[in-house]
Amino acid sequence: MLTYNVCFSRHQHFKRMEAIAGILEHYSPDIICLQEVRQDSLRLFLQTPWARNYTPSRAVIGNNRHYGEIVFSKYPLIKTECFPFRRTLMSRHVNVCDISIPVNSEDMLLGHNFTVVTAHLESMPENHNIRREQIKGIFDMMQRADNVFFLGDTNFFKDDEFSPAELPPYWKDTWKELADAEIIDPTTTEYTYDAENNKNADGDYRSRIDRVFYKSVDWVPTRYELVGTDSIEGTKLLYPSDHYGIYVEFSLAGLEDDIISDEDVKHIGDID
- Give the tens place of pLDDT for each residue, 239-267: 999 999 999 999 987 655 443 333 333 44
pLDDT > 90 in the chain, percent = 75
pTM value is 0.91
pLDDT band with cut points at 50, 70 and 90 for residue 61 = low
When pLDDT is averaged across residues 216-240 and rounded to a whole number, the result is 94
The answer to which of 6-10, 52-56, 66-70, 173-177 has the lowest mean pLDDT is: 66-70
Cβ proximity of 116 and 1 under 8 Å: yes
- Whether 105 shows a pLDDT value over 70: the answer reads no
Burial class (CB in 10 A: 0-12, 13-18, 19+), 111: exposed
When pLDDT is averaged across residues 77-97 and rounded to a whole number, the result is 93
When pLDDT is averaged across residues 10-39 and rounded to a whole number, the result is 96
Q: Can you list the alpha helix ranges (DSSP code H) found in the chain?
A: 13-27, 39-46, 128-141, 174-180, 186-189
- The DSSP code sequence of 135-189 is HHHHHHHTTT-SSEEEEEE----STTTS-GGGSPTT-EEHHHHHHHTTSS-HHHH
pLDDT band with cut points at 50, 70 and 90 for residue 72 = very high
Alpha-carbon torsion angle 49, 52, 54, 59, nearest 10: 80
The separation between CA 123 and the C-alpha centre of its own chain, rounded to angstroms, equals 17
